[in-house]
Amino acid sequence: MKIILNHSSNHESNEYLRALWAKFRTVYGKCAWQFMPHKHGQSKTVHFGFMDIGLDSTFEVSINYERKGVIKSINLESSLPREQLDLVSTLCSGLSQSSNKEPFIISTVLDSRLPSFAPVVGNGYRIFHRDSGESVLEVQVLAFDHHDAVHIAACKLQNICDLLAVFTNSFVKLTQFMCSKSFTEVTENLLFSGDLDWVDDHPIENKLTTLASYQKSALDLLLQGKVKNQFINGAAHFNNAAFLLKDYSLAQGALTDTATVLYVSALESCAMTRDVVKESCSSCGQVKYSIRRRVLDLVGEFLPSHLVRFIDGYYASRSKFLHEGIKSSNNNYFGTSIPQLSLSSDSGCKVATTVLPINLRDYVSYIFRGTAMSEVAYDS
C-alpha cells in the first residue's frame, strides 16, 4: 500500500512521521516497532522495519524519496484484510501534523555529586531542588503525545546537562523522565555572584550549586537552537569523561586513559567553534592548520604557555593511546610499589598507575566557560 505525500522538506517529513506514530497510538492503543533501519539507494527507499499497532498482522513500513530525507511516498505492507488497510491508509493520507501538538513538561532528577542546584527560571526550562535535596530539571516541548514529548525532550535535557557539566566542573546526568502539563512553580533566580575566573572549584554559594547569568543565557540560547553543535558535542565529551571517573580508584586506572581521550576530544570540538583561514600545502594538498594547532591556540586564549605545554602533553598521550594502544601506565599497582626502570617513559621509570587527570578536567571546563562568555560559542 503506497500513499503519495510529496513533502517539501526534511522537517515536514519528520513532523509527519512523529504525528503519524502518535495517531496510531491514539487510535489503536499502541505503535511498537521491530526497528530495522536500512536504505536502498538504487530504489531511493528507506526501510524502517516492522510496526505493530495491535492488529492481527504487523506492517512493514518504508518510504520513497526523491531528495534525501524528504518523503515522496510512504509504503505499508501487510497481510491484513483490505478494509483494515483502507482505515490505516486514510489515517496516513488525512493526517495534519501541524494542528495537533500540545505543550508538555518533561522533567528529570539530576544525577550529580554536587550540592543541590539553586533555582533558575529560563525560557522554556526550570532548574530547582526539592526539600529532599534532589535537583530537578524541567523543559517544555510541543509534541503529539507524551511518548513523542519524552522523545523530543530527551535530547534537550541531555544537552542542558552537558552544558551544566562544563559550567559546574562536574558530571551532570539524567535519570528517569516524568511528564506533566505545567511547570513547577519557581519564584526566584539565584545566580552566581562570585568571581567568574575560577578554575579548580565548583560554583557553590550558600551551599547551592549556582549558575552565572551568562550561563543562564546560554541555556536559553541552547533551547532556541543557537548554540553551535561543536560546543554542545564537546561539552558532552567532558560530561562523559567526568562521569567515567566518578568512582575512580587505583584499581580502575585503565579508565583514566579513556577519560583523557574524551577531555582532549572535548577541546578539539570546542576549538572548531572558531573560524580559521585554512591553507593547503601546494605539493600534497593537506591542510596546513592542523587540529592540534587549533587546540593549542584555543588553550593559549585562556591559559599561560606552560599550561599549553601541559595540555599538549595530554594531546600526545592521547594520540599514542588511540593509534598505537600505548597506555599511560601498566595499571599493576595493588598496594605495593615496585620501582623499576623504563626505556620509553618520560620519567625513566615504569609507571604502575595513572594519575587522576583532575587538573586536565579543571582546565577543560575553564576553557569551555571562557568560550561560553564569548560570542564564538553561538550562531549569529
Mean pLDDT, contiguous 10-residue spans, the chain (380 residues) = 94 96 96 96 96 95 96 94 91 78 97 97 96 97 97 98 99 96 91 95 96 97 98 98 86 81 97 80 66 94 96 89 82 82 82 82 98 93
Q: Are residues 244 and 189 in the same domain?
A: no
CA neighbours closer than 13 Å in the CB half-sphere of residue 9: 3
Query: Residues 368, 240: one domain?
Result: yes
Domain boundary among 33, 66, 93: 93
Picking from 35, 59, 93, the residue at the C-terminal end of a domain is 93
> Is residue 220 domain-shared with residue 288, that is, in the same domain?
no
How far from the centroid of its chain's Cα atoms is residue 174's Cα? Answer: 11
Domain membership flag for residue 377: no
Domain contains 379: no
One domain, residues 144 and 26: no
- First and final C-alpha spacing in the chain: 45
Residue 35 in contact with residue 58, Cβ under 8 Å?
no
pLDDT for residue 139 = 98
Residues 26 and 85 in one domain: yes
Q: What is the pLDDT of residue 32?
A: 98
Residues 368 and 253 grouped into a single domain? yes
| Cβ proximity of 364 and 370 under 8 Å | no
pLDDT at 317: 86
- Whether 380 is in a domain gets the answer no
Residues 363, 257 share a domain: yes
Shared-domain flag, residues 107 and 194: yes
Q: How many residues belong to the chain?
A: 380
The answer to whether the beta carbons of residues 234 and 267 sit under 8 Å apart is yes
Q: Are residues 161 and 258 in the same domain?
A: no
pLDDT at residue number 321 = 85
Task: State the total domains in the chain.
Answer: 3
Distance CA 227, CA 374 (A): 12
**Cβ pair 62, 46 in contact under 8 A:** yes
- Please state, in angstroms and rounded to a whole number, the distance separating the CA atoms of residues 47 and 37: 5
Claim to verify: residue 89 and residue 151 sit in the same structural domain: no
Query: Are residue 54 and residue 124 in the same domain, yes or no?
Result: no
- Residue 326: domain span: 236-372
Residue 378: inside a domain, yes or no? Answer: no
Instruction: Please check whether residue 187 lies inside any domain of the structure.
Output: yes
Specify the pLDDT at position 329: 78
Q: What is the pLDDT of residue 278?
A: 66
Which among 193, 227, 261 is the end of a domain?
227
pTM of the prediction? 0.91
What does the DSSP 8-state code read for residue 126? E
In a domain, 262, yes or no: yes
Residue 362: strand, helix, or coil: helix
> In which order are the strands placed within the sheet that holds 102-109?
120-122, 125-129, 135-143, 102-109, 177-180
pLDDT at 285: 67
Residues 110 and 210 in one domain: yes
Residue 342 included in any domain: yes
Residue 78 lies in a domain: yes
pLDDT given for residue 238 in this prediction: 98
What was the pLDDT predicted at 281? 64
Q: Rounded CA gap, 206 and 190, in Å?
A: 10
